[in-house]
Amino acid sequence: MGLKRRILVLGSSATGGDWPPVRCVAKGLHSRGHELCCFADSAISATSNAMDIPVVTPATGREMAAYFARWGNDRRAEESMLDCLERNPILTGWSDEVLPEARELAEQLQPELIVSQLFCMELASRLSSQLRRPWCLVNPGVYFGPGARDVDLDYVGLDQSYFFPLFSSLMQTASLVLHGTDPVFDPPPPALPPHHRYVGPLLDDTSAPCPAYLEQIGPPWVLVTLSTYPQRGETALARSALHALSGHPVRVLLTISEGHSRDEIGPIPGNARIELFVPHSEVLLRACLSVSHAGHGIVARSLYHGVPMVLVPWVGDQPGVAYRAAKAGAAEVVAREDFTDERLAEAITKVLANQSYGQSAAGFARRLQSQNPVGAACDLIEQTLAAVQHH
């Protein structure tokens, strides 16, 4: 084991899929003996015992979720955001408020490196500048940066017009950018900047016992899942998928979050069940298909287990993720604007009847299961620390 280093990790659970990959890296660094401390919200603090890493939370009312909530309750905010791209009412506003607290923690810890998730980038960049310490961004999805695919093709909504232009600017101040995606799934640009590195999907399942019903003998399972943080109208995807799959010889597990309304999903067919939480890996080990919104996490996990997909990209970076899954031959995609019960049913039938989708997914599984993305990420962070020490 190398020299023990002090590392500050910035996190928020308010933004969905960009915290779990950082959690993977933090656990890996902790297991190597480094001293870590997280500046993160109370939801992360409540689950930090499993990581055995101390968490310091912002003052009451200063967690990032509160800033998203205030913006979401003011429909005029979206217009003001687009009119004033140089100042983000969420990222900049949150960073302004919590910077003194984060700075105080950093002065106590004296970190040699800062590790940040996507939506904490502005705070990381400002701390890095003030403390004169390197910082590392963990990108949870497909590559964005110099030479990336056209943003208009990969992103929709505010991610396309607002967040990612800001992210791209902030990313330029990072000492190291770790892309938690697969270079075969998401080929890098010909001139990848030297401090940008692909490490592979950073998948982190919350440990939980496998439900007994998954192990019962019967038809194969299909996983249907929605976003961790509910998106407007997406329960229509779950309702349509359950209806389409009711006529196939499969068992269906639908996972939703507490923010989704069960009433909007409607009656549950006899071959299906609905749960708030089941480790997706346990389902995918027994699955012949997954149906989802094309979040990078569930797509990468499906590929890891060799499970073909039907994807309906809903928001954010999901169109870009779905495009890559289809190009890889492992998924059938239904664009949101083309989404109907009939179109989704056709896509499901096509994937279930055509072995080529499963064969393409299986090829990814063989390769991904032989890799160690967390180890690769930790190696690169340690190399960055060593380079800084030599200077």
The whole-number pLDDT of residue 83 equals: 47
Please write the tens of the pLDDT for every residue from 167-210. Answer: 888 888 999 999 999 999 999 999 999 999 999 999 986 667 88
The whole-number pLDDT of residue 380 equals: 97
The whole-number pLDDT of residue 35 equals: 95
The whole-number pLDDT of residue 197 equals: 96
Cβ distance 265 to 239 under 8 Å? yes
Token pair listed for 169: 């600017």
Please write the tens of the pLDDT for every residue from 292-317. Answer: 999 999 999 999 999 999 999 988 88
Query: In a 10 Å sphere around its CB, with 0-12 CB exposed, 13-18 middle and 19+ buried, how is residue 376 labelled?
Result: middle
Give Rg (Cα) of the chain. Answer: 21
The domain 6-200+371-390 is classified under which CATH number: 3.40.50.2000, 1.10.1370.30, 3.30.70.380, 3.90.180.10?
Answer: 3.40.50.2000
The whole-number pLDDT of residue 260 equals: 67
The whole-number pLDDT of residue 93 equals: 82
Cβ distance 348 to 334 under 8 Å? no
Region of 381 please: left (phi>0), alpha (psi -120 to 50) or beta: alpha
SS (H, E, C) 89-142: CCHHHHHHHHHHHHHHHHHHHCCCEEEECHHHHHHHHHHHHHHCCCEEEEECCC
Query: In a 10 Å sphere around its CB, with 0-12 CB exposed, 13-18 middle and 19+ buried, how is residue 75 labelled?
Result: exposed
The whole-number pLDDT of residue 79 equals: 47
Residues of the chain with CATH 3.40.50.2000: 6-200+371-390, 212-368
Task: Report the amino acid identity of residue 212.
Answer: A
Query: In a 10 Å sphere around its CB, with 0-12 CB exposed, 13-18 middle and 19+ buried, how is residue 379 labelled?
Result: middle
Query: What is the rounded distance in angstroms from the CA atom of residue 144 to the CA atom of residue 198?
Result: 12
The whole-number pLDDT of residue 80 equals: 47
Token pair listed for 194: 């030297």
Q: CA 134 → CA 86, 194, 199, 266, 374, distances in Å?
A: 24, 15, 19, 50, 20
Query: What is the rounded distance in angstroms from the CA atom of residue 370 to the CA atom of residue 76?
Result: 49
The whole-number pLDDT of residue 389 equals: 62
DSSP, collapsed to helix, strand or coil, labels residue 339 as coil
Residues (pLDDT < 50) of the chain are 1, 74-86, 391
Q: Which residue, chain included where needed, has tokens 């027994």?
A: 286
Strands of 180-285, DSSP E = 196-198, 221-225, 251-255, 272-275
C-beta neighbour count of 82 within 10 angstroms: 11
Strands of the chain, DSSP E = 6-10, 35-39, 55-56, 113-116, 135-139, 176-179, 196-198, 221-225, 251-255, 272-275, 287-292, 309-311, 331-333
Query: What is the rounded distance in angstroms from the CA atom of residue 225 to the CA atom of residue 260?
Result: 11
CATH number for the domain running over 212-368: 3.40.50.2000
